[in-house]
Structure 1
């Protein structure tokens, strides 16, 4: 619920609120912003009169658009730690409030991690926490400023707004800086300007309930009001519309006192259409308040659905068993870090749905309401999580933030039918932020959070991942099972999972998989994994994520190839089809993301476990999921990013095809290799595999798949190299493609005889001089100036800027190579 803070500042009042602002009319403030990295001596430096032409004017601000993140590039800069500290934003607001004596509110959809808001020189609001929504009423501050004619003249009738964000390290703030993701800074979600009448809504809560036979639905409509001027009388109209926007209910409540929480309506709907992952039917509740002749309309969507986790058994949605086919999401993207636009978010969530996802865990914090709306629309069930992640447990300030952020998450996202789980924490057994690590204190606070979640919302479950000594507190528990990556072999997956399931009431496996360096492939994926012990468990333990020391494990000793990961994923998906007690599982994560704790990865500072790269480029594993989880006919030959295979003349090479069709025929160089029937239990590739002889040089491979009356095809071209190579000795540069002023460059490592070194993993570094710019710090296999070679090659894009440049390529022990571009 929004708390109203009344403070006297000079001769006017300032109302500061928490929570999103219910209103149909919001103005996104995306343009005409300036940004300063670092701090100011005080707010006066942001608003003092400009000095045109004065070269001594400091500091220098840069023009930006919102959303904007401090760490758009430095989060994956291979040479620096990402910036953690203060940063400032400023703009000028044009105020045009349609409500006489109405309210003016700034609605923050999220900002990291501590924020202060100023109108001119007056502090009007502040907030701690990078992920929940919050708002600030700036009415009195704006009115006071506008009453000063000289200030209005100086700022040409506009209102100066300044915002200070700060993501400095702070042990008494969640999440922990030990977390395996960046704690970004900036106005990295949308900021809205909202005009409100004197009385408006503060929080709207919809409580839909289905009868046991799902033949009748009831929805209670509750609201609290934002009424700082203490208006004593209002009329509220509640209207409900079905999925075709046909009105099915309407009621006006006359002469209510718009204060506190009130039940406004209770509507009964016969034979309601159900919200389901395959048919996510949404109803709309529109609320209109009329007070003193001023009206405001807002709306919330909701859905009718029932779900149940059977004790030591599967998950049910609307009375039928549903295997949760899940993944995870971090708010992170190439070139912008956390500042993803709505278009980017929509692209990402549609890609997940197209992969067959019906469940997502939002790790490890409350995410944009846009994401929750997309999950509602697409039919994706949600586990959303408060950011109590790693580090132990802090003091009262720490705990109060956790309580507040859990409360805000539940209040703000309660109405989304997609949400079924409120996550209370992640890896809370991970110490080191504090000198003491008290399991008893963590258990006590976990129980407090569990009870709080159920007081706020007793219609959803609570859950945590990887904190075994708290597994009995929450409703749903996920242990750490990384079979075939951090420990054990992936064939241990089913037995370990069943053993863990028996320990708790409700088991759900979130986080599994492994890293893959996009575009790296292998002819022998198990070559370095013979020392890994089976049957010794599959949990992640201290040091398992390290690239050094400890027991043999794929995360350290494997080749990080896509070839290995598709086999690991394939095995897990095959097994999940044969586990009748399984609620579901969620692969970690959907997309590669940046992290401060992995500087030595093949793409520095990137967790590379995603099935797509940080810029949405699918890896081969994306199509493995599609082959198991989707129904739209698809076929995909493994190896689209594998231009050169190798071996001896006459060797038979395995070709994998991933498809959800009944049968596939493979052609190599125009010759049929036979038709194979799909059988999900025939590992690997569900039986769609052929051992074929490649011709030296170019080979054309084509797959033709049939599903019912539908035929789909896929084609790739691969070269076959039989020449053996020695130690890397030479780097050569070539232009792969050119589009406008952008060139894609490729470097290839050769031995002294000029033979391609197709297993080389050397780090390659790019440099440039001249007019052009490297398109770098993207956190992708083709967007980093330092990257480990994939099969002895690496690529990067160059923006030529209509000029001439010299590109240099360095690799240890190899002479620097140069190429002139123009």
Structure 2
């Protein structure tokens, strides 16, 4: 038996290795030149003054301008050029230039002649290029010039979205040379062969292949299509064979259907067992191998129902995972494949089984990883927020849908094709106009066409249309009736009402649409990893409020049978250039940071979903903390510390001292931990298995209520005014404390009130405006208006005092962002304020205000040194002249 397996393996190996001699696929990512701006391609040779930049692919020209202090980012032309050298023997082959993705319109020229163009930034495209290449002088090479343009275009989705439309050739580019007879390479840049697995059950399954063979030669050919199914160990399961006669310069369809395979090993997230389908084209006379196709095969069957949710291979399964955007800190969307794969592994390691590839098809490495590691996937096209009522927009949308499906067809992980995310979020025309009603009809008509195309392309998978939470609107327009599944992007307890509104909404769907399966395609809350609160409030952007949010949503998803599942918005933080908020240009809802550091919510989901034993200390990346003692006699500051675990009981130690053991409930338990001044070592472990553990090193700064304390002498203290959160600077890791009222012997403000942004009921205090000139926007986004004084009762000595200001009432009202559902765009009056600042009675700032340093929405910090004597401490007085006095932050540093 072993000898037979070895011989079979050798035959398969020979079967595969012959491929490398017949078809060549080589990346051409290295040593390109790039120019950002407009060029006439006919002038490239004559214009020697073009300042080309040396780059490699993948590449985006928006890596940094999306994070600067200026609104907007470069959307326009970018030009790439490279000399390629082709083998002279390729003149007898078919040669293609293949792009995995370039955003968003692309034109390609070779040796000065236009090869072709492509519309759409998220699907692959390729061109036959042999006729444009010169083979006679190999050393001369061939010049490729590529024009990419990410300008706004009314006829190309996406038109508007809560993510950044980066420009560039941001995925891999390949040259492919094949024999003149090959599997179709012009079928929307797909593999040319499509695999389905009909009639799957526990006891048997079939394999079906459908494809096209292309004959680019001038003569008739007779070929054999031979397909082997190999198991995980490359042992042959069966062989299929088909004879084809190919006319010159033609394409010929073929279809292969296997007999039932007995007792197939099934693919699932728990056991992602993959077979391989390997098809070769053989010349019938010479038996020479002409081309090869290979793809993974996963035998599985699945269903969605309105009452019981999702089942896989006959077993109920709750789909839980995350959405994924493709950008990365300092890389834009030009990621190496390994980082895309790591994102999928983050979901898998969290215990998730589902990924929504949102809001556009992504790098091939994403679904390849899903197949291997066992993640079910939904993929969608980028019609987001609104449509354009033109034939061109419709045609582009339909073409993107076809490209997406054909290019990603051979992935057993894919179970849903989707389209039109939140397409009614930003409708055109006045609300009650006849034009608005016509627009809604046109949206529904396009949705039906996309639905029809999707079912025509792939009857083996489900369709979905993800909507924002306006149930009555989507239902009345008919968008809940068109797809097979309805997706809901729900933010109860964030953008609107309270947590309990989630269950009310879901129950209403189940009542009104009793036959329509549903998935919660988005849910999440901003979690700025720099901000914490002991009293979290909706929209305060703290890690603590986000934890309350995720706990409620996961419980609801798990407890309601008719909810098929949910995907967190988002796996990672991602760039959205039009956002301001606590971290400008970022959507902070990710449970993992932009540079892929897990937040508390990630560890929570891991504790709830993962099967392997987990103990994780919450907020372990918050390594520098501070707190104000209630009494100088105390030796430690008590702070709640959450430990996430799927173990029954957890034990905690701090600095070697045991704090006892506690039972976990719903994935965590909270210890009250005494942090001493200085470094603290925290250890958490499973009470029943000490090898399941986690560590954290936390430096804590204790402040006595009296800054005159000898026991806790302070070096530096920072206070954020108008705020009830702690903030930690990303670069310096310095902590800012929330404000407090002055009491004799201590420190604090006198008078005034916390500023609250007008016209935005979401934000509990402060503003969401971008503040220029700082990386620490939260310090400047809150302030105390009408402040009379700020006092520090400090001992005698020399100090450095810094005052932080920003004018928040600027008259520069921006349009309300569509996704902030409660925010109202309204005209803001420009502030005019003038006041003096005195320090210990001495004038420090005279007539400080909008006519000088206090420019709209710009950070201002002013520093001075003070010598305190005679036990007077420091008193900063604010004297109003015109308008209200303000202070955003204050810092005091002891020099000696």
TM-score, normalised relative to structure 2: 0.72
- For residue 519 of structure 1, what is the aligned residue in structure 2? 530
The answer as to whether partners of 2:625 and 2:735 remain within 8 angstroms in 1 is no
Deviation at 1:671, TM superposition (A): 2.9
1:323-362 paired onto structure 2 within 5 Å: 323-362=318-357
Equivalence for 1:465:
466
The correspondence for 2:619, drawn from 634, 639, 653, is: 639
Instruction: Work out whether 1:814 is the aligned partner of 2:814.
Output: no
Q: Distance in 2 between matches of 1:273 and 1:238?
A: 19
Query: Map of 1:346-745 to 2, 5 A cutoff?
Result: 346-431=341-426, 436-437=435-436, 438-466=439-467, 467-468=474-475, 469=477, 470-504=479-513, 505-526=516-537, 554-555=538-539, 559-598=540-579, 600-642=580-622, 643-649=624-630, 652-680=638-666, 686=668, 688-695=669-676, 698-706=679-687, 710-719=691-700, 721-723=702-704, 745=732
Partner SS state of residue 423, structure 2: coil
Cα distance in 2 for partners of 1:369, 1:694 equals: 48
Are 1:174 and 2:157 matched, yes or no? yes
1:244 aligns with 2:241: no
Q: Secondary structure at the match of 2:108?
A: strand
Match of 2:242 in 1: 253
The range that moved more, 577-586 or 203-212, is 203-212
Residue matched to 1:539: none
1:46 aligns with 2:44: yes
CA distance in 2, matches of 1:817, 1:259: 80
Residue 252 of structure 1 and its aligned partner are, at CA, apart by 3.5
Give how far 1:165 is off: 0.3
Distance verdict in 2 for CA 1:488–1:142, change over 3 Å = same
Which residue of 83, 86, 90 corresponds with 1:95? 86
Deviation at 1:125, TM superposition (A): 1.0
Segments of 5+ residues of structure 2 without an aligned counterpart are 1-21, 185-190, 468-473, 706-716, 722-727, 756-769, 783-801, 806-858, 866-892
The yes-or-no answer on 1:273 pairing with 2:273 is: no
Cα shift readout 1:8-28 (whole Å, capped 9, x = no counterpart): xxxxxxxxxxxxxxx974211
Partner of 1:771: none
2:275 matched residue in structure 1: 283
Taking the aligned partners of 1:592 and 1:377, their CA distance within structure 2 comes to: 25
* 1:252-277 per-position Cα deviation (integer Å, ceiling 9, x unaligned): 43343272321145353211111101
C-alpha displacement at 1:518, in angstroms?
A: 1.5
**2:35–2:78: 8 Å Cα contact kept in structure 1?**
yes
Could you say what secondary structure the match of 2:506 adopts? Answer: helix
Q: CA deviation at 1:82?
A: 1.1
Shift of 1:634: 1.8
CA contact (8 A) 2:368 2:411 kept: yes
Decide whether the 8 Å contact of 2:547 with 2:600 is kept in 1.
Answer: yes
Deviation of 1:602 (Å)? 2.1
Partners of 1:341 and 1:60 lie apart in 2 by 26
Q: Match of 2:813? A: none
Counterpart CA distance in 2 for 1:99 and 1:35 is 28
For residues 330 and 464 of structure 1, do their structure 2 counterparts lie closer, same or farther at Cα, with a shift above 3 Å needed?
same
Identify the range of structure 1 (703-712 vs 397-406) with the bigger mean alpha-carbon deviation. Answer: 703-712
Match of 1:118 in 2: 109
Give the whole-Å Cα distance in 1 for the aligned partners of 2:781 and 2:674: 23
Indicate conservation of the 8 Å contact 1:514/1:609, yes or no.
yes
Say if 2:312 is the partner of 1:317: yes
Structure 2 partner of 1:192:
174
**Contact map agreement 2:681 2:695 (CA 8 A) in 1:** no
Change (3 A) 1:311 1:185: same
Residues of 1 paired with 2:340 and 2:429: CA distance?
Answer: 36
Contact preservation (8 Å) 1:706, 1:712 = no
Offset of residue 626 of structure 1: 0.8
What value does the CA root-mean-square deviation take over the aligned residues? 3.3
1:517 Cα deviation after fit: 0.9
Change over 3 Å in CA distance of 1:652–1:48 after alignment to 2: same
SS of structure 2 residue aligned to 1:308:
strand
With 477-486 and 328-337 compared, the bigger mean Cα shift is at 477-486
- On the 8 A contact 1:78/1:786 being kept in 2, the answer is no
- Maintained 8 Å contact 2:76/2:150: yes
Confirm or deny that 1:183 pairs with 2:171: no
For residues 690 and 365 of structure 1, the distance between their equivalents in structure 2, rounded to whole angstroms, comes to 42
Measure the CA separation in 1 of the matches of 2:688 and 2:192.
Answer: 47
Question: Hey, what does 1:37 align to over in structure 2?
Answer: 36
Aligned counterparts, 1:143-182, within 5 A: 143=134, 146=135, 156-176=139-159, 178-182=160-164
More relative contact order, 1 or 2 (CA 8 Å, 6+ apart): 1
SS at 1:316's partner residue?
Answer: strand
Q: State TM-score, norm by structure 1.
A: 0.79
Once residues 142 and 754 of structure 1 are traced to their aligned partners in structure 2, the CA distance between those partners, rounded to angstroms, is: 79
**Residue number in structure 2 paired with 1:799:** none
2:213 to 213, 216, 225: 225
Q: How far did 1:332 drift?
A: 0.8
From 105, 124, 128, give the equivalent of 2:119. 128
Residue aligned with 2:192, SS: strand
- Equivalent residue for 2:295, pick from 296, 300, 321: 300
1: CA distance between counterparts of 2:585 and 2:629? 37
Q: Distance in 2 between matches of 1:710 and 1:746?
A: 31
3-state DSSP of counterpart to 1:27: strand
Which blocks of at least 5 consecutive residues in structure 1 are unaligned? 1-22, 50-56, 527-553, 730-735, 738-742, 763-780, 794-807
The structural deviation recorded for 1:246 is 1.3
1:189–1:220: structure 2 CA closer, same or farther, 3 Å change rule? same
Looking at structure 2, the residues matched to 160 and 582 of structure 1 have their Cα atoms a distance apart, in angstroms, of 54
CA shift, 1:417, in A, is: 0.7
> When the two structures are aligned, how many residues end up with a matched partner?
696
The structure with the largest alpha-carbon Rg is 2
Structure 1 equivalent of residue 808 of structure 2: none
Whole-angstrom distance in 2 between the partners of 1:382 and 1:198:
35
Cα distance in 2 for residues equivalent to 1:756 and 1:359 = 50
Q: Distance in 2 between matches of 1:131 and 1:717?
A: 43
Decide whether aligned partners of structure 1 residues 494 and 431 sit closer, same or farther in structure 2, where only a CA change above 3 A counts: closer
Q: Secondary structure at the match of 2:294?
A: strand
1:60 aligns with 2:56: no
1:81 maps to 2:72: yes
Q: Distance in 2 between matches of 1:47 and 1:477?
A: 54
- Deviation for aligned residue 1:713: 3.1
1: CA distance between counterparts of 2:181 and 2:748?
72
Contact conserved, 2:266 with 2:300, CA < 8 A, in 1?
A: yes
**Is the partner of 1:89 in helix, strand or coil?**
strand
Partner of 2:888: none
Change in CA separation of 1:366 and 1:24 when aligned onto 2, cut-off 3 Å: farther
Alpha-carbon distance between aligned partners in 2 of 1:638 and 1:247, rounded to the nearest angstrom: 49
Q: Following TM superposition, by how much is the alpha carbon of 1:692 offset from its aligned partner in structure 2, in angstroms?
A: 4.2
